[in-house]
Structure 1
Amino acid sequence: MRVAVAAEAVEFRPKRIRLVAVLSAVFLVAVFTVVGLLLGDTPTGVIFRTSDQVAMVCLGVLLAGGILLLARPRVRADAEGVEVRNVVTVHRFAWTDVLHVSFPDGASWARLELPDDEYVSIMAVQAVDRDHAVAAVRALRELHRAATP
Structure 2
Amino acid sequence: MSEAVADDERSQWDLVYRPRRLIIWSCVAAVVVVAIHATFGYLLNKANFALFGHVFNFGDNGVRNIGDTDQWSILLIGVLEAGAILLLTRPRLRVGSRGVGVRNLIGERFFDWDEIVGISYPEKGWSAWLEFPMDEHIPVLAVRSADGEAAVAAMESFRDLQQRYTSARVDDA
Does the pair score TM above 0.5?
A: yes
Find the residue that maps to 1:110 and give its secondary structure: strand
**2:151 paired residue number:** 133
Report if aligned partners of 1:96, 1:147 keep a CA contact under 8 Å in 2.
no
Question: Could you tell me which residue of structure 2 aligns to residue 36 of structure 1?
Answer: 41
In the superposition, the TM-score normalised over structure 1's length comes to 0.90
Alignment RMSD: 1.4
Q: Is the 8 A contact 2:13 2:94 kept in 1?
A: no
- Mapped to 2, the partners of 1:124 and 1:8 lie a distance apart of 16
Among residues 37, 53, 66, which one is paired with 2:71 in the alignment?
A: 53
**Structure 1: segments with no counterpart, 5+ residues:** 1-6
CA deviation after TM superposition for structure 1 residue 21, in Å: 0.8
Cα distance, 1:89 vs structure 2:
3.6
Q: CA deviation at 1:44?
A: 1.9
Q: Deviation of residue 55 (structure 1)?
A: 0.1
Which deviates further from its counterpart, 17-26 or 33-42? 33-42
The one of 85, 90, 97 aligned to 1:79: 97
2-structure distance, mates of 1:107, 1:44? 45
Provide, for residues 13-48 of structure 1, a one-character-per-residue CA deviation record: whole Å limited to 9, x for no partner: 111111111101000101100111111224223121
CA separation in 1, counterparts of 2:77 and 2:166? 49
Q: Normalising by the residue count of structure 2, what TM-score does the alignment of the two structures yield?
A: 0.78
List, as ranges, runs of 4+ consecutive aligned residues in structure 1 with deviation greater than 6 Å: none
Q: Distance in 2 between matches of 1:35 and 1:108?
A: 34
Higher mean alpha-carbon deviation, 86-95 vs 60-69, is at 86-95
Q: Which runs of 5+ in 2 are unaligned?
A: 1-11, 48-59, 168-173
Q: In the comparison of the two structures, how many residue pairs are matched?
A: 143
Q: For residue 114 of structure 2, give the secondary structure of its aligned residue in structure 1.
A: helix
Give the alignment partner of residue 105 of structure 1, picking from 123, 134, 153: 123
Higher Cα Rg: structure 1 or 2? 2
